[in-house]
A and B are shown apart, each in its own frame.
Chain A
Amino acid sequence: MKGTLVLAAWEVRRAVRTRWVLGGGIAFAAGASAVALLGLESARELGLSGAGPASAGLIGFAMLLAPLLGLLLGASSIAGARERGILGMILVQPLATRSVVGGFFLGALGALWLIILVGLGAAGVIFGAVADASDVGALIAIAASTLAVAAASVAIGVAISCMTEGQSQAAGWAVTIWFLMALGVDLALAGLGPSIHLGPSALLVVILLNPIETVRVLALLASDAQGIQLGPFGAYLDARFGDQGAAVVMLGALAIWVWVPLALAWWRLERRKDRA
């Protein structure tokens, strides 16, 4: 465990010093602030008060940018170390392969969480001016959901990192997978949904197969226990799993989305004929 933490701390420091955290934090803060301001302005024009009505846009923004940054950070972790030649020196240290994978994962995740906290912190300051007590839960849910989707996307990125040969190849796969998860599934559902008459149970499967959608539903459930914002699908979740059950299912799926890619990364690095 000590080796994992040493490696993780080194990865965080590396991300800070290479200005990944600064650049990502500025981009996230600028985007989140713009979304917050635009959302509040729109809500005000519609005569709505509080931060809640404007926060939906922030969920959408966070669910786009956080997974992209997570996939890229994860994908560049081990592949980058291999390309710089330092992975070999790390792998010959007295560390288990799972500690190496865990260290790179936690380091990239730590860096991304810093970026997210900077970005959402900026949006939080803007929302803070108009938020009332009932908004606090929703805003915390957005933050928690973003941190959660970051964990899944970094884990997938680390798996990509172990399965590709170079950093640019890993980045290419990361962007492709981000597109499929963030946009591709939505586009496919929009195009095919009506013709294939996707029922709620099939929709649930599609959602669980996509960590971004899983977290998006989780965020909406957390900010709206009755699932009203989810419409008929929310009613289906409530009827099938109950109030808490749906959240547990989503959290379970998310945990799988973290552990399976990490297990895959460990397996690939362990079995790789040429590890570095």
Chain B
Amino acid sequence: MPEYETTTALLEVHGLTKSFGRKTVLQGLSFSLQPGEIMCVGGANASGKSTLLRCLAGLSDFRGSARMEGKDLPDGKDIRRSIGYLPQGIQLDEPLTVREILRFFARLRGVDPHPDHMPDGFLPPLDAPLSVLSGGQRQRVAIALALLGTPRLLLLDEPIANLDDVGVGLTWQALRTVIDQGGAALVTSPRSDDLEGIAQRVLILGDGSLQEIGTFPAGQLSTALPTAALGTQRASS
């Protein structure tokens, strides 16, 4: 039995299929995620990475099943309290300060707004209006919102897209802090090697289906996906 099919999985996905009209974007995806694991979701543009996360977050309907610790996703408030979701390319052009938007989402989640698991320097000044922040700074705030309350399952859609090297390092540090408390994360990136050293496994999507699940390290994962170099498991097998 492959390692990712153990019964202690935090997340189990079976036959997840998503179509837009006649076009099938995701076809029968099956995989699981263990506690403490970070899995990179890679693949070319429009391969369905964001759609997969949206399905798991409850923002898109799908066929098949996705269960978190035995409970169907995304039903129930308790399960949703355990999920942190970062959408791709969020603008955060709200007329609020950093502190206010943290407090707003913390109140919605019913958790402490104090971002105590954030590394020093990760967040911009808390009293700064979001409107004056750079794209990278806003992205860090959006990541902090997804990590509020230390959720068990993190669904992060291209979290480092706008970040500089320092921001990337701090983001991984923050992510690791949350994961070390028993959580797990699915993190998308068009360049899988961005997550080398962070993610334990990589799931590659292509043509609507799961191409392969492999393990890092691999600098070769980005486009050519050389199966032999990765020790991958063919998803279809």
The residues of A with any CB-CB pair to B shorter than 8 Å are 2-3, 6-7, 10, 13-14, 17-18, 84-86, 88-96, 273-276
A273→B83 CA distance, assembly (Å) = 20
Interface residues on B, range: 20 to 34
Any A CB within 8 A of the CB of B231: no
Any A CB within 8 A of the CB of B54: yes
Any A CB within 8 A of the CB of B115: no
Report if A92-B85 is in contact (Cβ < 8 Å); known contacts: A7-B108, A275-B60.
yes
Contact: B90 with A10, CB < 8 Å? Answer: no
Residue of B nearest to A274 (CB): B60
What does the 1/0 interface line of B64-76 toward A look like (CB < 8 Å)?
0000000000100
Question: When A and B form their complex, which 8 residue pairs have the shortest distance between CB atoms, in order from nearest?
Answer: A17-B95, A94-B77, A85-B90, A93-B108, A94-B81, A92-B85, A94-B80, A6-B107
A90→B94 CA distance, assembly (Å) = 13
Residues from chain A with a CB closer than 8 A to the CB of B95 are 13-14, 17-18
Residues from chain A with a CB closer than 8 A to the CB of B145 are 89
**In residues 50-100 of chain B, which contact A (Cβ within 8 Å)?**
54, 57-61, 74, 77-78, 80-81, 83, 85-87, 89-96, 100
Contact: B108 with A95, CB < 8 Å? Answer: yes
A7→B146 CA distance, assembly (Å) = 17
Residues from chain A with a CB closer than 8 A to the CB of B80 are 92-95
Report if A84-B85 is in contact (Cβ < 8 Å); known contacts: A3-B108, A6-B108.
no
Any A CB within 8 A of the CB of B31: no
Which of A6, A84, A94 gathers most chain B CB within 10 Å?
Answer: A94
Contact: A14 with B94, CB < 8 Å? Answer: yes
Minimum C-beta distance from B70 to chain A (A) = 18
Contact: A92 with B83, CB < 8 Å? Answer: yes
A93→B85 CA distance, assembly (Å) = 9
Partner pick for B96 among A13, A89, A94, CB 8 A cutoff:
A13
Minimum C-beta distance from B6 to chain A (A) = 27
Contact: A94 with B59, CB < 8 Å? Answer: no
Contact: A88 with B94, CB < 8 Å? Answer: no
Residue of B nearest to A15 (CB): B95
Residues from chain A with a CB closer than 8 A to the CB of B94 are 14, 84, 86
A17→B100 CA distance, assembly (Å) = 13
Residues from chain B with a CB closer than 8 A to the CB of A89 are 85-87, 90, 105, 142, 145-146
Residue of B nearest to A84 (CB): B91
Residues from chain A with a CB closer than 8 A to the CB of B54 are 88, 274, 276
Any A CB within 8 A of the CB of B110: yes
Any A CB within 8 A of the CB of B117: no
A52→B100 CA distance, assembly (Å) = 46
Residues from chain A with a CB closer than 8 A to the CB of B77 are 94-96
Any A CB within 8 A of the CB of B109: yes
Residue of A nearest to B61 (CB): A273
Residues from chain B with a CB closer than 8 A to the CB of A96 are 77
Residues from chain A with a CB closer than 8 A to the CB of B90 are 84-86, 88-89
Minimum C-beta distance from B236 to chain A (A) = 27
Report 14 cross-chain contacts, Cβ distance below 8 Å, ordered by A residue: A3-B108, A10-B104, A13-B100, A86-B92, A88-B90, A91-B58, A92-B74, A94-B110, A95-B80, A95-B108, A273-B61, A274-B60, A275-B58, A276-B87
Residue of A nearest to B155 (CB): A92
A86→B145 CA distance, assembly (Å) = 11
A275→B57 CA distance, assembly (Å) = 11
Residues from chain A with a CB closer than 8 A to the CB of B108 are 3, 6-7, 90, 93-95
A276→B88 CA distance, assembly (Å) = 12
Report if A88-B105 is in contact (Cβ < 8 Å); known contacts: A94-B78, A94-B80, A274-B54.
no
Partner pick for B109 among A17, A93, A275, CB 8 A cutoff:
A93
